[in-house]
Structure 1
């Protein structure tokens, strides 16, 4: 066993797969990267990236897990293993598409699927309890792939008194913070939008990062509901582009208390999920808004909350050289155009301009974090999450026998 770990730790470069399913729960992002070194010496090369969409039936199963009304204990228990199989299938499919075998892969980092996130402490029998829950059993992934798997990245930070989020700032610091002469905002627009300020001579303890509010979550929810499920998101921002922003409704939406909270802060589906979308639809109906107008308005909500946080916490203190956008929102030209107009003259670019897939940034990040974990490297910023100290993230599930001593499962490109 010791020989196995010594080989794993000293091998360079390593081939590592990162897996993630975001708060929009539309599918599994899988990225295969080569990683040399760790910490500030990390060097990354992207080999392959794919998104494996969930089937309609899978999405219905997942939706039952997110709601306190339907998320029964038996469903959560079974869903954890069900998701583990889906994540394993995605990893095996990516390996096959890359023309490799599982034996060529050194490590998997899987974020899983966040089901519930409770970063604010609640007293339970005199104990202040924070909690977070990600499903997608890593033991299933390790068993089916024969690859050592790192998962459950958020819980150690929560145990140390942090919010367990955001976790991408450490990776943003490694990938984009080396050029100290350029001060950059790394803006992720997934289901939730979050930012990281790096470069400009900032030391790790000075990194600023937090969730600005909804990213694609509300847009997707509005589009799905108003189209009766025919569309799950606003492809290329076409619906919003055909509408007009309703200033009155936008002003009302901007009154949400989360936007007035000072960072560090984090949010999720608990605040901006289905119940919030229902309230937005009701308000839109009061104003008699069309589908394009309401879609344009909630798109503006994402943009405006991002820009207002820049204006409140970043622009007054730092000379920003550029904004680099990743996440699914980077594929929405209408949203990007609105953001570029709102933050001008600061240029807005996409991760593709730097050799990374915008939609797969988080999958890449969890590959990097898995590599940090096996090297025992703390990969959290207490100033960002609120934890008492930096922590090593994740739990390690060794491959069978800590080696390659059993036949590997045949790969399949079909997502089950």
Structure 2
């Protein structure tokens, strides 16, 4: 079965509401993540609660410093500092997430890297582009001429998004070492060994004048992986802690979790798709309103209904939940046909539109708790689940998820609560993956993707695309800068 790749963020940002204050979910007061121009958001966690992100004086460090402490500097007093842009477009097909970041450290070096978000923007797709992308999900309609034309058009839109966020960050294109573009997935078939993302990297490189890395997934597929999820590699770099086991739960169109055990090495990290995320929630909202709603913004529809236990019991029997890990899923399993069956069954049971929305919202929360029981708890008792993606802006979903995980002794927090950004997280990840590609460093986690071995991900566009990463890294390593220390 062909599947779009996992772990992509659905855009739930418009019309969102604040989470129920009675629910044990941490979100920062400055909701919406990092701000542009290098203003870093403060966390509500007390100093020391996130050792990988806070220094001795309690000030937030650069996001995800790989060792406890503040910013990273070279032992001889120099810094390898560069700027990158990450572009992400997910299964919700809402538009392009663009993040401009500062990266410090040597890719693949002993000291790791740190990342600071400088600016973030979301550029919605034009209505005709979004409509045609959905049509291209159908292989019968994805003819070569249509795919080719959209590949170029998206390249232009991605380039525009990159240039826009660079300006918002107060940079010029000449300051930026690389653009990492995930592209728009239109078909993902890991069982057949291929995947298709469009949004031509050569167009991005030509229009921005910046080297572009794209097509990240095929290299993992070529060595036996599923080509997904890829973000766990960056989560390992940026979030691991010596004393706490963390779960990084993304709720985009599909939900996926990364398990980062306390004091782990890269071989200990694993990840998989937990099941449907916003795909069912948004799909039900659209279907029952005849398209008047594109999503259940802020959980408003679900908040007026009640989850139906009969329908929930039936939906929980889907075979996906018991499949062994690593695994991934997508529209082919939880797409249009599945949604229509849910709504038909709901009508047979006499459910209202709000009840249907509440039921699939509860299903998403249940699937995450069920995945923890089946595939995580016996190996690692988690301390904290950090939730990102569009689903983190749905207070009904977050309430249900907090209740699920509280019963298992796991605290739930949002990306914003730990100083991150639910909006920007995956765009940041592809900026960092591009940085590793430029240095020709492996950037997949075989335990997460099922690959036989680590692989260098991505294809670079322009003849100078690896020059900065390779030359800078080699020069520093030759001069003995293989370790870092906290400032």
> Does the TM-score normalized on the shorter chain lie above 0.5?
yes
> Aligned pair 1:12/2:80, yes or no?
yes
Which among 264, 279, 290 is matched to residue 202 of structure 1? Answer: 264
TM-score by length of structure 2 reads 0.76
Change (3 A) 1:399 1:46: farther
In structure 2, what is the equivalent of residue 33 of structure 1? 101
Are the equivalent residues in 1 in contact too, given 2:261–2:380 (CA < 8 A)? no
**Partners in 2 of 1:144 and 1:138 — Cα distance?**
10
In structure 2, what is the equivalent of residue 342 of structure 1? 404
Are the equivalent residues in 2 in contact too, given 1:65–1:79 (CA < 8 A)? no
In structure 2, what is the equivalent of residue 123 of structure 1? none
Report how far residue 247 of structure 1 moved.
1.0
In structure 2, what is the equivalent of residue 380 of structure 1? 444
Change (3 A) 1:209 1:350: same
Are the equivalent residues in 1 in contact too, given 2:305–2:358 (CA < 8 A)? yes
In structure 2, what is the equivalent of residue 4 of structure 1? none
> Aligned pair 1:63/2:134, yes or no?
yes
Which among 184, 187, 190 is matched to residue 252 of structure 2? Answer: 190
Are the equivalent residues in 1 in contact too, given 2:225–2:450 (CA < 8 A)? yes
Which among 200, 223, 227 is matched to residue 137 of structure 1? Answer: 200
Report how far residue 56 of structure 1 moved.
2.1
In structure 2, what is the equivalent of residue 331 of structure 1? 393
Equivalences for residues 122-133 of structure 1 within 5 A: 129-133=192-196
Report how far residue 61 of structure 1 moved.
1.3
**Partners in 2 of 1:78 and 1:235 — Cα distance?**
32
Are the equivalent residues in 2 in contact too, given 1:147–1:399 (CA < 8 A)? no
> Aligned pair 1:228/2:299, yes or no?
no
Which consecutive segments of 4 or more residues in structure 1 shift more than 6 A? 399-403
Report how far residue 400 of structure 1 moved.
8.0
SS at match of 1:106: strand
Report how far residue 388 of structure 1 moved.
1.3
**Partners in 1 of 2:201 and 2:220 — Cα distance?**
19
Which among 237, 259, 265 is matched to residue 174 of structure 1? Answer: 237
In structure 1, what is the equivalent of residue 332 of structure 2? 270
Are the equivalent residues in 2 in contact too, given 1:249–1:284 (CA < 8 A)? yes
**Partners in 1 of 2:285 and 2:170 — Cα distance?**
37
Equivalences for residues 301-312 of structure 1 within 5 A: 301-312=363-374
**Partners in 2 of 1:247 and 1:75 — Cα distance?**
44
* 1:160-219 deviation digits (Å, cap 9, x = unpaired): 111000111101100111x11111001011111111111312221121211111111111
* 1:260-291 deviation digits (Å, cap 9, x = unpaired): 10101111222222222222222222223211
Change (3 A) 1:97 1:201: closer
**Partners in 2 of 1:277 and 1:399 — Cα distance?**
46
* 1:197-242 deviation digits (Å, cap 9, x = unpaired): 1131222112121111111111111112222222211111111111
Report how far residue 158 of structure 1 moved.
0.5
Equivalences for residues 68-107 of structure 1 within 5 A: 68-107=139-178
Deviates more, 1:202-211 or 1:335-344: 202-211
In structure 1, what is the equivalent of residue 114 of structure 2? 43
**Partners in 1 of 2:465 and 2:251 — Cα distance?**
40
TM-score by length of structure 1 reads 0.89
SS at match of 2:264: coil
Q: Which segments of 5 or more consecutive residues in structure 2 lack a partner in the other structure? A: 1-77, 468-487
In structure 2, what is the equivalent of residue 389 of structure 1? 453
Deviates more, 1:27-36 or 1:193-202: 193-202
In structure 2, what is the equivalent of residue 370 of structure 1? 434
**Partners in 2 of 1:394 and 1:401 — Cα distance?**
11
Which among 379, 385, 403 is matched to residue 317 of structure 1? Answer: 379
SS at match of 1:320: coil
In structure 1, what is the equivalent of residue 182 of structure 2? 111
Report how far residue 399 of structure 1 moved.
6.8
Report how far residue 401 of structure 1 moved.
9.7
Are the equivalent residues in 2 in contact too, given 1:32–1:47 (CA < 8 A)? yes
Report how far residue 73 of structure 1 moved.
2.1
Which among 336, 358, 362 is matched to residue 296 of structure 1? Answer: 358
Are the equivalent residues in 1 in contact too, given 2:189–2:195 (CA < 8 A)? yes
* 1:45-99 deviation digits (Å, cap 9, x = unpaired): 1101111112322211111111123222221111111111111111122122233
**Partners in 2 of 1:67 and 1:91 — Cα distance?**
29
Deviates more, 1:288-297 or 1:107-116: 288-297
Are the equivalent residues in 2 in contact too, given 1:142–1:399 (CA < 8 A)? no
In structure 1, what is the equivalent of residue 59 of structure 2? none
* 1:89-122 deviation digits (Å, cap 9, x = unpaired): 11122122233322222210000011111112xx
In structure 2, what is the equivalent of residue 211 of structure 1? 273
Q: Which segments of 5 or more consecutive residues in structure 1 lack a partner in the other structure? A: 1-9, 121-128, 404-416
